[in-house]
Structure 1
């Protein structure tokens, strides 16, 4: 079984037992009138029974993890090493180098506001503009990608607010540079075929938004260093999802 899994189980056990101790302490310190020998004995008995129950649950979970770990240890060596390497690249677990494209998006100059038909919002690179480029590059067969030098994976999420971009807890300003490793001709064809990028190019011609595509022979991309866990939302109990 993986040391990381065993470590997680150990931490969970320590936290559970710590919670028991904190609960007992809170009950003992909560009210002066309850700090009598009879009350103390009942609290200790109740919490001791709870510790025993939690310990049994932890043992059962430990056994289940061991069984799952044994199953993984048997299955993984039989998998195609090339497939495992490809999955590591796509997930961002490994650094990658190779040829591909870079796309730079830049805000329009403030002088474009001299045109009475231009609004301040027109001058800014928006979140959907960056998303159109990323989606087109994936569709064009990109093997790996970065945004502002940050490795983009299937769990990456970014958000634009005004003229700043938030990604992996970091703040970036334009120009926004997306780099993709893959066949340059296919990547370029995917960019040219994107309707969203087509609209963006109209603003490039109209007010001077920045759009620059470059081919590269030796792009280098770091491994993704963020968290690997997927997070999901749940519907609160009692909520009518059909209303």
Structure 2
């Protein structure tokens, strides 16, 4: 009397075929007739981000125009007198909603070439992250300029206020709903000598300059005469979370 049974090798083969079938089914279900090896989805996402950034820029300009109209109407109907209007104008300058003109500095930061190698003997070859501008690099420059007595700061074409946040995703900057690519320009209005002194003394800036020397990251400081910063055009309302009781 004979007994039929599966040998271990035959069981393993059946398992492999079953797993392969599962992989093919998942691949087909995911692709649904599309080429899943292309970057089309990422390109569409990038296009969507850029389009949203352009729309946000248009909304910023529209908001600024409406704010000017509201300010003009409020000023025309204000019965508080010239002294109160001057006080209001000073407050607006302090929070950054009015244009600001004066001497200052412009700092430009840029990524290194993608094929950059170490430019100093004994320094290891760079990793990809060593060749791009990071959020902390931009924040270091902005914070140093504020400490140097800047009366106003803008990053790219946007004025910073107390609630502004400089954030980077990869090597792109997201600032107040808009997206920017390097090179990044930071401009401050203030005493150029004090601004430069504080900038050069900042530890985080010194750390960035080490990468400039080692791998060729971009760095340029220009003295500016009578540079004009735009007024901040976004919302100035403070928003915060409050715990439930």
Q: TM-score, normalised by structure 1?
A: 0.62
Gaps of 5+ in 2: 1-77
State the match for 1:123 in structure 2: 131
Structure 2 distance, partners of 1:76, 1:127, is 45
Cα 1:75–1:195 shift into 2, 3 Å: farther
Structure 2 distance, partners of 1:236, 1:201, is 46
State the match for 2:152 in structure 1: 144
Structure 2 distance, partners of 1:205, 1:98, is 32
Q: Does 1:106 align with 2:106?
A: no
For 1:1-243, list aligned pairs within 5 A.
81=86, 84-112=88-116, 117-237=125-245
- Cα offset, 1:145, TM superposition: 1.0
- Cα offset, 1:79, TM superposition: 6.6
Structure 2 distance, partners of 1:76, 1:231, is 32
- Cα offset, 1:99, TM superposition: 0.9
- Cα offset, 1:101, TM superposition: 0.3
- Cα offset, 1:205, TM superposition: 0.1
- Does structure 2 conserve the Cα–Cα contact (< 8 Å) formed by 1:89 and 1:144? no
Cα 1:76–1:138 shift into 2, 3 Å: farther
Q: Which fold has the larger relative contact order, with Cα–Cα distance below 8 Å and residues 6 or more apart in sequence?
A: 2
Structure having the larger proportion of residues in helix = 1
Structure 2 distance, partners of 1:139, 1:177, is 18
Structure 2 distance, partners of 1:192, 1:84, is 36
Gaps of 5+ in 1: 1-72, 238-243
- Cα offset, 1:232, TM superposition: 1.0
- Does structure 1 conserve the Cα–Cα contact (< 8 Å) formed by 2:139 and 2:166? no
- Does structure 2 conserve the Cα–Cα contact (< 8 Å) formed by 1:113 and 1:120? no
User: After the TM superposition, which of the residue ranges 137-146 and 85-94 deviates more from structure 2?
Assistant: 85-94
